[in-house]
Every structure is written in C-alpha cells, then in structure tokens.
Amino acid sequence: MKAVSERKPELADRIAQFQFRDTRPKAAAEITDLADASLLLGHSKEGITERVYRRTKAIGKPSE
C-alpha cells in the first residue's frame, strides 16, 4: 500500500477501515414507482425488486 511505503500510518489506517456499501436498497426505496425501480436495478421482474430491495416500514401514529 502506498500510504504504508510513504510512512503515513494514519492514512493507511483510514484506508484499511474504508468499506464500500451497496446503495441499491436506498435507490429502490426512494423511487415510488416499482416498475421504474425495477428497471433502474436491472430486474426482469418487479417481484424481485419488491421482495429484496423494498424496505419500507409501517408508519405509526404518535402517542399522546
């Protein structure tokens, strides 16, 4: 790693801790039309998008 060879231990540590995250669920959740979300994600069936990527929660009423 270049940061190690250049003796930058703090940078090397930050690089080692970096993680790639899948943004597909967020994109699928923000598109309201299931057909559009399915098209964007490249799914042949809307059911795949619904089952795997739609993570909507029930909205509850606030307590008094």
Write down the pTM of the prediction: 0.51
Please report, for the chain, the start and end positions of each structural domain, with discontinuous segments joined by +. 21-54
pLDDT digits over 3-53, tens only? Answer: 888 888 999 998 888 887 778 888 888 888 889 989 988 989 998 888 888
Tokens found for residue 12: 């090397």
Residue indicated by tokens 């930058």: 8
User: Residue 64 pLDDT more than 80?
Assistant: no
Neighbours of 28 (CB within 10 A): 21
pLDDT for 36: 92
Neighbours of 37 (CB within 10 A): 21
